[in-house]
Structure 1
Amino acid sequence: MIDIAGFALAVLLVELTPGPNMAWLVTLTLSEGRRAGLGAITGIALGLAANAALSVLAASLILAQDGGLAQGVSVLAAAMMTWLAWEAWRGSGESSPAATPRQSGQRHALAGFVINLLNPKAALFFITVMPQFIPDGRPSFVQGLAMAATSVIIATSIHLALVLGAERVRGVLMAESRARIVRRVLAIAMLGVAAWFLAKAFA
């Protein structure tokens, strides 16, 4: 049985981490209005969905060939979460797998779609982390799509909350001291998930 709750928690930890992705949506909404922000969200969601579907297809095909790959993927998943935790702790990069553009002159929906579709970090996240929440570590395409949909829904919900509450969350995201505390708390939680993946690999 798929551990949707566990996967959703892992996605939530990553998506809640303050970074350029959040700041871009808030700044865009405040400067150009909610319509621009919602347009960007639409592109981001479609790009994430397409990226996730392709990643799920790749993971299901690769892992179906050899069950022994599951251990290696677990180690890679642990490394992936550790990397995201390190970026969140430093605050010097986008911790979210869905990095978005910051050039406001671009057509926001198209830019959000293209950048998320071609984002290798998003693909690596799905390919390595998703199988950790499947009993045998070998997800079928249907199982993968269910988890991909869960991830996109969580990301889009957070993005909508940012755009609709841009004025209120600006103080948190733009105040580096507060954002640093949030990032570091979430980074520690991500390390906990990474440790679980590593333990699972050698269990």
Structure 2
Amino acid sequence: MGADSLTSFLLAALVLELTPGPNMTWLALLTATAGRRVGLAALTGIALGLALQAVLAVVGVAALMAAWPGLYRVLHLAGVGFLLFLAWESWRDSGDPAHHRPGGGEDGAAGFRRGLVANLLNPKAALFFVTVLPGFLPQAASAGAALALSAVYVALATAVHLVIVLAAGSLGGWLADPAVSVRMHRIQALALVLVAVWLFWRG
């Protein structure tokens, strides 16, 4: 793969990752309310979910989804449902005093699980691996080449998400006020609903 093709791929991946979506919104608000430790745990789950998506794409599962749109629709609706579940949970937690103490009442294990599941059910990532990534590979490229390029994408996405975690973590002191934390939980819930609606509408 030439330098020009790699540069073009990196630009395409960067544009995708900077587009507001479930990961960016959820990760920023989670880190701001629960702290950087939980945000980093969630980031690990996101990275693992993306890596598993890449492996599945290389072995043909994502190609299968492209061949049978009904299978993609199931994954797509599951992703929308998961976002709505997170929205409900965030709104519910806004009424729980435990979630407005320092640390937000969340732990790293919960953040990791959410990040992992959300990205295993992320159709945007699946479509990227099956439709966009192959266009940057030479003809008859090996599975190893596809995995290597997928690893580049996961690394870039993780770097973008790390910047989000570090920036959002600086708001932790301001969010120590329980009243602010309640509002942030509700804002997070509404934002997740909007993202779920947007994802459903995009189809």
Task: Write the mapping of 1:74-153 to structure 2, written as runs, cut at 5 A.
Answer: 103=89, 107-136=110-139, 138-153=140-155
Do the aligned partners of residues 13 and 36 (structure 1) sit closer, same or farther apart at CA in structure 2, a change above 3 Å counting? same
Q: In the alignment, what sits opposite 1:53?
A: 55
Q: Indicate the SS of the match to 2:60.
A: helix
Task: Write the mapping of 1:1-203 to structure 2, written as runs, cut at 5 A.
Answer: 1=1, 3-58=5-60, 103=89, 107-136=110-139, 138-166=140-168
Query: Where does structure 2 lack aligned partners over 5 or more consecutive residues?
Result: 68-78, 94-105, 172-183, 185-203
Letter in 2 for 1:14: L
Report the alpha carbon displacement of residue 23 of structure 1 after superposing the two structures with TM.
2.0
Q: Percent identity?
A: 49
| Contact kept in structure 2, 1:60 and 1:139, CA below 8 Å | no
Letter in 1 for 2:8: G
Deviates more, 1:33-42 or 1:158-167: 158-167
Q: Indicate the SS of the match to 1:165.
A: helix
Q: In the alignment, what sits opposite 2:190?
A: none
Query: Aligned partners of 2:63 and 2:23: how far apart in 1?
Result: 31
Query: Aligned partners of 2:133 and 2:40: how far apart in 1?
Result: 28
Report the alpha carbon displacement of residue 168 of structure 1 after superposing the two structures with TM.
6.8
Query: Aligned partners of 2:118 and 2:155: how far apart in 1?
Result: 18
Query: Where does structure 1 lack aligned partners over 5 or more consecutive residues?
Result: 63-72, 74-93, 175-203
Query: Aligned partners of 2:143 and 2:131: how far apart in 1?
Result: 15
Query: Aligned partners of 1:60 and 1:139: how far apart in 2?
Result: 17
Q: TM-score, normalised by structure 2?
A: 0.57
CA RMSD of aligned residues (A): 3.3
Query: Aligned partners of 2:63 and 2:54: how far apart in 1?
Result: 14
